[in-house]
Amino acid sequence: MIMVNDPGSWQIKYYQLSHAKWEGCTITDLIFPFFLFIVGVSITLAFGKALTKGATKKLLLKKTIKRACIIFSLGLFLNLLPNFNFNEIRIPGVLQRIALVYLFCSILFLYASKKSQIIWFGGILIGYYIVMMYVPVPGIGPSNLDPINNFSAWFDRLILEGYIGSHGQGQYDSTGIFTTIPAIASGLFGVLNGHLLVRKDIATEVKLIWMFIIGCTFLMLGWAFSYEFPMIKRLWTSSYVLFTSGIAVICFATSFWFLDVQKFQKGIKPFIAFGTNALTAYFVAGIFGQLVTRNQFITFNGSKISPKEWMFNEVLTSVFNPYNASFAYSIINTLLIFILIWYMYKKNIIIKV
């Protein structure tokens, strides 16, 4: 996520390192739903263990609300950079969506049965499909999936007018309120996968087989459903949830087989380091991105340029072609964040919220 969020130039990026402009799904479009899937899995593992040790649901809910509020606030802080103008703050954001998904998935895990969780998962996807495809948009007309005139964009403008992102001249937000509802389903699918993972009456090999079967089924369902309800990441459509959830569980099962079954451990420590302080890495990357973009220094010829512009335009483009230069900047940026995260990992510094 860090790599794709800060290229050397937003206008010069390889296709698979960019989000689909509207319909479709690139490798980049898999990252966010994968993260929400893992959030869901971790809820089942962590809360299940805590309940076994005697923690009450009330205590876990209290901790969940506190953690969600902190994550949401961190997202607002990033949106306030660099001017801290509260009158024009963008309220939605990546961390804000993570916080809300985490909160609602935690509540469903604590207070809904497994069967009810499955019903919630299906109900969210079906309900969202019906609203987006068949409910007329007030003041606009028939239902549609136009970036600005769809039901979700209308709803977000109704609730958050003046406080949403710059997409479509501030007419819609890719992490808005309404599209967060189906995003909850992405996290909830992780919760359900976690239930399978912790079952002791099923052999590990059988669990893996079921994960692959479920993953392939969801992948194909998402692909087929996209002909009716297109895959659009910015709208987090139901077909997008099914498709990305399928790929997520396949990747999870593959990783589980390599790491836990085959005990393959070579070269995984950098990934463990990032995973241990994932939110810290994202938060620091957001601040660092603002620093190197907003601040400027005076060059020898008297012109002003930001550190990012200097690195990309003056250094990297003199060595690589524009696309590789933009990609190289992403790699350098990620490596700089990794240095901090690796140091924290080696010193066993874990920042928890």
| Domain boundary, last residue among 214, 247, 264 | 264
Instruction: Based on the fold, state whether residues 204 and 215 are members of the same structural domain.
Output: yes
Is 317 or 190 the better-scoring residue by pLDDT?
A: 190
Which of 103-107, 187-191, 304-308 has the least mean pLDDT?
304-308
In a domain, 19, yes or no: no
Instruction: Based on the fold, state whether residues 154 and 233 are members of the same structural domain.
Output: yes
Q: What's the pLDDT tens digit per position in 256-283?
A: 998 888 888 888 898 899 888 999 999 9
Q: Does pTM surpass 0.75?
A: yes
In a domain, 275, yes or no: yes
What was the pLDDT predicted at 33?
97
Instruction: Based on the fold, state whether residues 326 and 210 are members of the same structural domain.
Output: no
Is the pLDDT assigned to residue 165 strictly greater than 90?
A: no
Instruction: Based on the fold, state whether residues 213 and 310 are members of the same structural domain.
Output: no
Instruction: Based on the fold, state whether residues 220 and 314 are members of the same structural domain.
Output: no
In a domain, 11, yes or no: no
Closest listed residue to residue 121, CA positions, set 138, 131, 108, 139: 108
**Cα distance between residue 23 and residue 33, in whole Å:** 16
Instruction: Based on the fold, state whether residues 170 and 38 are members of the same structural domain.
Output: yes
* Residues 137-143, mean pLDDT to the nearest whole number: 94
In this prediction, residue 130 has a pLDDT band, given cuts at 50, 70 and 90, of very high
Alpha helices in the chain (DSSP H): 2-5, 28-52, 57-80, 94-111, 114-134, 151-160, 177-198, 204-225, 238-256, 269-276, 278-294, 307-309, 322-346
Residues composing the chain: 353
For tokens 């463990």, name the residue.
272
Quick one: 338 exposed, middle or buried, by C-beta within 10 A (0-12, 13-18, 19+)? middle
In a domain, 176, yes or no: yes
Quick one: 247 exposed, middle or buried, by C-beta within 10 A (0-12, 13-18, 19+)? buried
* Residues 149-160, mean pLDDT to the nearest whole number: 94
For tokens 């924290």, name the residue.
344
In this prediction, residue 313 has a pLDDT band, given cuts at 50, 70 and 90, of confident
Instruction: Based on the fold, state whether residues 184 and 326 are members of the same structural domain.
Output: no
Q: Where in the sequence is the domain holding 251, given as residue range(s)?
A: 26-264
What was the pLDDT predicted at 170?
67
| Domain boundary, last residue among 230, 264, 298 | 264
Q: What's the pLDDT tens digit per position in 112-125?
A: 999 999 999 999 99
What integer best gives the mean pLDDT of the chain? 92
| Domain boundary, last residue among 264, 286, 304 | 264
Instruction: Based on the fold, state whether residues 165 and 275 are members of the same structural domain.
Output: no
**Which DSSP state fits 164?**
S
Q: What percentage of the chain carries pLDDT values higher than 90?
A: 69
What's the number of domains the chain is made of? 2
Instruction: Based on the fold, state whether residues 68 and 80 are members of the same structural domain.
Output: yes
What was the pLDDT predicted at 191?
98
What was the pLDDT predicted at 3?
79
Instruction: Based on the fold, state whether residues 242 and 349 are members of the same structural domain.
Output: no
In a domain, 284, yes or no: yes
Instruction: Based on the fold, state whether residues 51 and 195 are members of the same structural domain.
Output: yes
